[in-house]
Structure 1
Amino acid sequence: MPSDALAAHASDLLAMPASSPAVLTAFWFAGDRESAPNVQIAASQFDRASQQWVPPKYVVNRHLMGAQLGSGIRRIGNPVAWLDASGRIHLFVVATGLGGWAAGRILHTVQSSPGQGLAELEFAPLRMLPLSWLWNTSYLVRSAPLPLADGGMVLPVYFELGIKYPVALRFDRTGAFVGMERISQRKHLLQPTLLATSATDWLALHRDNLPNGRIGVSRRTDGGAQWRDADSLPLVNPDAAIAGLSLSPGHHVLVHNASPHSRGLLDLSTSGDGLSWTRAVVLEQGTDADEYSYPSMVWADGHLWVSYTDHRTRIAWQRFALRDGASSAAGASATVLGPAP
């Protein structure tokens, strides 16, 4: 944690190129508390040589970003990172003007430093994404993008002004915004996470805002141009963020809060089809008063990495190996996981 930060939330993990001295970069927001005026986006990197996290630094400041954009930013949160086809880091950040998170916009920033080492890493604002006629509100970002074969990606975002629904944004290989489409017609789903179940079929799994909610499901099959809602998973969702990752077709992992009315239990589950899930690891097991939330996952350096908020005061992380002797994610069993050395 930065030395002056009392709170932390909403981490995001980015796998770095094999040539980088860092295995991965972690981003999160830190400050006195969520929505505090001094909240900034912090970052740290896991060094390949030392196998340690380097001391963090702030990489996005709302005052500096607002000055460069020419418009004020009242608060920031929820960073999500992506590497474009040229290896440049794009960082998408929730930003607000007047109003709370329901009036959020998505700030698209791009790496402005020549290198990606943490000491020199800097970002410059590109623009607020043009998603709504009403000053681009109320769209927010939370989950990792789904990479595409052409080098572009699909960024899952969500609308939450009054009603809530998930949206998919498409970007080309350079990071240029191409277009958007609504994922679900339901009005209580948000914070989608995307899984590629085959070369042509995708699943979107959603946080459910309803009491006694279950993880929501939308499907896009056979390369079709339209998303369709499907039956929710039997997995409970206490109005909490989830994180999903496709290691390969037939091998998917999901981190989710597994207690009906609390974020005190955090599970890592596995699936072959993205619809039937089996608990593989209990990441955290506390009381109803505890909070382990807003997970992120990435495959990097031959391991599965997981990060999440620990009681809103720090970011926790765990690293796992696939225990069937496979040397890569593509050949690994999604049901056998163990702590990495």
Structure 2
Amino acid sequence: MNFAAARLRNHGGLALVLAAFALAGWKVLPLGTLAPASAPTPALFASTVAPPAPAAGSSGGSSPIAGPAAALAPGRLIQDSGIPVETRFIPSTPGMAVHAASLVELANGDLRAVWFAGSREGAGDVAIRSAVMNGTSLQWGPETTLLNRTQIERGLWRYVKKIGNPVIARAPDGSLMLWMVTVSLGGWAGSSITWARSSDEGASWSAPRRLVTSPFINISTLVKGAPVTYADGQIGLPVYHEFITKFSEVLRLDADGEVIDKLRVPASRRTLQPVVLVSGPSTAQMFMRSDRAESVMTSSTTDAGQTWSPATAMVWPNPDSALAGAVTFTGGRWLALNPAPRGRESLALLGTAAGGSFDTATPWLVEFAASMMGTDRSLQAHERALTTELLAKGVSAADAQADIASAKRQLCGTATCAPEFSYPYLLQGRDGYLHLVYTWHRARIKHVRLDVARAPGAATPSLAGAKP
């Protein structure tokens, strides 16, 4: 072998790869096949609401309520607040590692949830799983497999090592879109986004395709948050980059699901998993996870996403964990997050009226490990707490033991465990109820259905009965 050629392959080739990575992470203007040379002016947001006029004497913002210091007050669970709440586990194979659920409402009012599950995160047996909740009986049907690794490999014509973070949503044309993270080489930083489309409410799916987010190596773009739509039928998909550095951006997809542009959020270095809440035809706010476990980061746009303000920190801490958000039909806004500086032992909802600030919102705790276990994080306390809830929700003793074994594999050391409620996803159904799904101890997906409008004295946006 020619020595110079070998050296070029070993050193020059590496430099080219690193250069390509750097270029792949840059803002893509109309480059190559990503956009025409003269791209049209982007349309306004389609999913807008008309905020109600403030009452006399009102500032029009959120109510003056207790700040974040109350976040972890013992006993302040939403189930104890008088708000009508229903909780249930979505059926899944006992003993599997489950994570990263998302939701879409079907044409008949049912809900479809998707998540990934396998023997462990990143394992070769991980698949995209799904279940459907009957909108009348509110009962979840059995778990099914939407896509497994073999099916994805056949669609992409490439080896797939890992699958994760499925996001399901309805496209402007009425079809369902499913985006997910796939990895062929390395860890999650080597991800690309794979997508498929369904024209029958998720019963069957098109062959998976790779989303081209860069004209170079086309890796290190990941998805987690729900998309937004534009008046011209395009889709804005919030994504994030992980290789070398981390930052948040928004992909603009055409009606065929292909990338035509992308825009990085300024000063969003060290952020992940952006969530976009649209408040008007040209206005929206983005919320981002901090990989330094500092504060929730936020950015905003006043020109329908053509530009975003530099990311800044909120008052709420973020323990390097995902958030979720939703805007209701009346303009109320909701965030679900882990509200502590460290760990994922509590999960809370923040709600504001249209135009309100989350910085002063009262946290409503959905889960709080201390309410179940006190300060005891022993293996025995962890098993007792999980057993009690699983059996109370109708899970058989055998299945409960399999789920507890899964939780122990992922969250426990030799003597102690780290309870986890994480990766929330929010959706308002057409009946006005707010639906929350999240990972419960890495062993189950839990579904919470809230009728917050009936909370006694709750100073929160109205949900129930509202129509789009």
Tell me the TM-score normalised to structure 1 length: 0.88
Q: AA paired with 1:242?
A: L
Q: Equivalent residue of 1:64, what SS?
A: helix
Counterparts of residues 156-171 of structure 1 (less than 5 Å) = 156-171=238-253
Q: AA paired with 1:54?
A: G
Deviates more, 1:76-85 or 1:179-188: 179-188
Q: Equivalent residue of 2:367, what SS?
A: strand
Following superposition, the deviation at residue 5 of structure 1 comes to 5.2
Larger RCO of the pair (alpha carbons < 8 Å, separation 6+): 2
**1:16 maps to 2:98:** no
**1:84 maps to 2:171:** yes
Q: 2:352, 2:256 → 1: CA distance?
A: 32
**1:68 maps to 2:182:** no
Q: AA paired with 1:183?
A: V
8 A Cα contact 1:109 1:124, kept in partner: yes
Following superposition, the deviation at residue 227 of structure 1 comes to 1.0
Following superposition, the deviation at residue 23 of structure 1 comes to 1.8
Higher strand share: 1
**1:6 maps to 2:96:** yes
One of 251, 267, 270 as aligned partner of 1:188: 270
Sequence identity percentage: 32
Q: What's 1:316 paired with?
A: 446
One of 96, 119, 136 as aligned partner of 2:183: 96
Q: What's 1:329 paired with?
A: none
- Change in 2 beyond 3 A, CA 1:217/1:89: same
- Change in 2 beyond 3 A, CA 1:274/1:122: farther
Q: 1:53, 1:314 → 2: CA distance?
A: 13
One of 333, 336, 343 as aligned partner of 1:262: 343
8 A Cα contact 1:305 1:317, kept in partner: yes
Structure 2 unpaired stretches of 5+ = 1-90, 371-376, 378-417
Q: 2:347, 2:94 → 1: CA distance?
A: 28
Following superposition, the deviation at residue 276 of structure 1 comes to 3.2
Q: 1:23, 1:237 → 2: CA distance?
A: 33
Q: 1:184, 1:15 → 2: CA distance?
A: 33
Q: Equivalent residue of 1:191, what SS?
A: strand
Q: Equivalent residue of 1:102, what SS?
A: helix
Following superposition, the deviation at residue 134 of structure 1 comes to 4.2
8 A Cα contact 1:267 1:279, kept in partner: no
Tell me the TM-score normalised to structure 2 length: 0.65
8 A Cα contact 1:16 1:23, kept in partner: yes
- Change in 2 beyond 3 A, CA 1:222/1:137: closer
Aligned residues: 323
Q: AA paired with 1:75?
A: K
Q: 1:274, 1:62 → 2: CA distance?
A: 43
Q: 1:149, 1:100 → 2: CA distance?
A: 37
Q: What's 1:221 paired with?
A: 302
Q: Equivalent residue of 1:298, what SS?
A: strand
- Change in 2 beyond 3 A, CA 1:73/1:82: same
